[in-house]
């Protein structure tokens, strides 16, 4: 939906992404796995790309790096430092509870269930 609203190209479930430059500018080559094999699409930038789990190989922290990270100071920043307005953007118009559900009924056997469903117009 975002790509459609922006008028950009879209590629979904990317398992591999490559950027290529040709005479007309930058293009994105996106490879994704489909039922029959692999599908590759190429489109100019800007483009919306969603990824698959196989795109990145996770990096795991080693114990020495964890210990170094504990010693580093964290710098506290506010939204204003990034020139972001933290005000509310949405206004709640109305909140309602859903209507209470009606209780079900018990039936004695299958024939009773069928007749009850017919009476309700379900079958």
In tens, the pLDDT along 33-84 reads 888 889 999 988 899 999 888 777 788 999 999 999 999 999 999 988 998 8
What phi-psi label fits residue 118: left (phi over 0), alpha (psi between -120 and 50 degrees) or beta?
alpha
Distance CA 17, CA 41 (A): 10
The model's pTM is: 0.47
Distance CA 109, CA 57 (A): 57
């Amino acid at each position: 939906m975002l790509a459609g609203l922006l008028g950009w190209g879209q590629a979904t479930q990317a398992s591999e992404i490559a950027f290529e430059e040709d005479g007309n500018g930058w293009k994105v080559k996106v490879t994704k796995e489909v039922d029959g094999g692999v599908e590759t699409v190429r489109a100019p930038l800007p483009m919306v790309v969603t990824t698959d789990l196989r795109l990145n190989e996770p990096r795991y922290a080693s114990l020495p790096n964890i210990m170094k990270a504990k010693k580093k100071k964290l710098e506290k920043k506010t939204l204003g430092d990034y020139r972001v307005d933290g005000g509310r953007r949405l206004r709640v118009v109305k909140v309602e509870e859903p209507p209470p559900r009606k209780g079900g009924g018990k039936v004695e056997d299958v024939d009773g269930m069928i007749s009850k469903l017919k009476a309700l117009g379900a079958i």
